[in-house]
Structure 1
């Protein structure tokens, strides 16, 4: 058995801690195309962009960015990471990603999530009081659309559809839809019952603690009549790779500290320290920072503990020089991935 390895990003545009200057949104978007092309060239399997609607992120339209890279790439899969389905229209989501699927010749995917940031709700006129109901209703509609050309559907937060077609249809049948989870039992059960692949965002603590959720997901799938052994399981975690551990830490720590403290001030977290960083990048921690051999060792441990079939490394916090981000992507494809795959074959 093998494992898919790829990159995820939110197209961060945070200020550099040293200079105080942030990359512009237009430059960050052009950098993303460069990253996707490189990831394809070095043999990575997937590149995902997570939707955000804030000044410190440039990723409000992932499908557009991915489509811009589709014609420049050959085999890499292109996915949202995630689509905030609760505040979007499932018809437009399907149309955007089926269009991406066409221009990429069948390489598009959707990760459907509720989103850990809430800026899109007031922006598109939705109430946070309807947070759960919006997601459940819109996921139901999205799955109906991908299953049938003509759709009849009625819900509480969107006008009904009566026997209308949704076009273009995807090259892949069906268009892959993943459930994105922050680690709640409800998400694991929902994905399992629907027979959909799941991706867990593991950004803190020990990844091995997600094992009960993986088990819950598989048991829910089996109970609903799906074969859990055929369902993909992915994780998404932050990290960075350089030729040496010292170089990786010196480049990544100031940047990730800045990002964590920005979000932490909004959410009431304690300040992010070097001790927090070093603890998280330990072998059993959720931060994948180090030289290629060490990062590979952590991914192999993750596979053995959780049985994941796909791993996303989130390398972008924008404050790291882009040439170093590109080097980290190159090392992930040319050094880390071969080590992991050889270890799993032995």
Structure 2
């Protein structure tokens, strides 16, 4: 069971002061958060790609590279790389470079992205949303498997027996598929034998169990050994010394961020009652003291089959010291509980 952190490097106005920190400051803070996550023994740190004013990380590989030389063992991944609007050659080169700098700790989490700002920015048509991802994933996987590539497609110039460098330390460089729970994407990941990341951010997490089963069935159909595949959860959450403090600290920025998206996408208003329901044992928010969060992660492992859990923190902008404390508690108190119980459970099966 791997445990880690993911972040979108948000720069929304502070709930109390109304001030917004600069992109530069938030980027430096994230590097400190990655270094701390490594220090307290977490396994992975993910940085999401966005191209809008309230998110600072348009280039996850650069952010992760800034932390590579300051960390020793933590794996460094995008969360996600918006592959549909990116050049797969450049994506592979960037993460191969990160892999070299980190001595074999880089990963790519490829996804379509739930935000669409990158499509007009890089000159892509949203009508090609699905086709772009399929074509570019095909090229990225060829780059993963071979130093020299011959490839042609509809949305990018062809490549004729050209080498792509640098080559990564890991062979192959890990490529995960990020999914919001779409059956098609889950089946694709399984058929290709690629590890899967599910964004479990709403409803009852146990509802994702059939998707995990579908993923493993697709993997078997594709000739892959399910026992060698990983399934990760990307889930919002926050840890503090006690449950009340965790909830009261995490709610304001979460509400602000969720209601911003609600206005943009026509969702319902996010209220405290919605938040409290989601942080119940059956909900998708992992908010509480170290023991409470550990119990929910263990439950997810046992009944959904998750092999990697990524706590997404913060949602919206929170004081850096609060995020650092949550990471510290996750690594020092929650993670040992989870690892011990999961090991005990697995060895008894």
- The superposition leaves residues 41-61 of structure 1 with CA deviations (integer Å, 9 ceiling, x where unpaired) of 000000000100010000101
1:182–1:200 contact (8 Å) kept in structure 2: yes
Structure 2: gaps (5+ residues): 345-349
Among candidates 233, 236, 239, match of residue 238 of structure 1: 236
1:27-176 paired onto structure 2 within 5 Å: 27-176=25-174
Secondary structure (helix, strand or coil) at the match of 1:172 reads: coil
Secondary structure (helix, strand or coil) at the match of 1:324 reads: helix
Counterpart Cα distance in 1 of 2:39 and 2:57: 23
Q: TM-score, normalised by structure 1?
A: 0.99
- The superposition leaves residues 48-77 of structure 1 with CA deviations (integer Å, 9 ceiling, x where unpaired) of 001000100001010001001000000000
1:155-304 paired onto structure 2 within 5 Å: 155-304=153-302
Aligned residues: 344
Counterpart Cα distance in 2 of 1:290 and 1:183: 25
Per-residue deviation, 1:318: 4.5
Structure 1: gaps (5+ residues): none
Counterpart Cα distance in 1 of 2:287 and 2:19: 24
2:257–2:316 contact (8 Å) kept in structure 1: no
Indicate the RMSD between aligned Cα atoms, in angstroms: 0.6
Q: TM-score, normalised by structure 2?
A: 0.98
1:307-326 paired onto structure 2 within 5 Å: 307-326=305-324
Secondary structure (helix, strand or coil) at the match of 1:341 reads: helix
Q: Which runs of 4+ in 1 moved over 4 A?
A: none
Counterpart Cα distance in 1 of 2:177 and 2:86: 15
Per-residue deviation, 1:319: 2.7
Counterpart Cα distance in 2 of 1:308 and 1:230: 13
Per-residue deviation, 1:317: 2.7
- The superposition leaves residues 226-256 of structure 1 with CA deviations (integer Å, 9 ceiling, x where unpaired) of 0111101000000000001111011100110
Per-residue deviation, 1:184: 0.4
Secondary structure (helix, strand or coil) at the match of 1:48 reads: strand
1:67–1:100 contact (8 Å) kept in structure 2: yes
Secondary structure (helix, strand or coil) at the match of 1:12 reads: coil
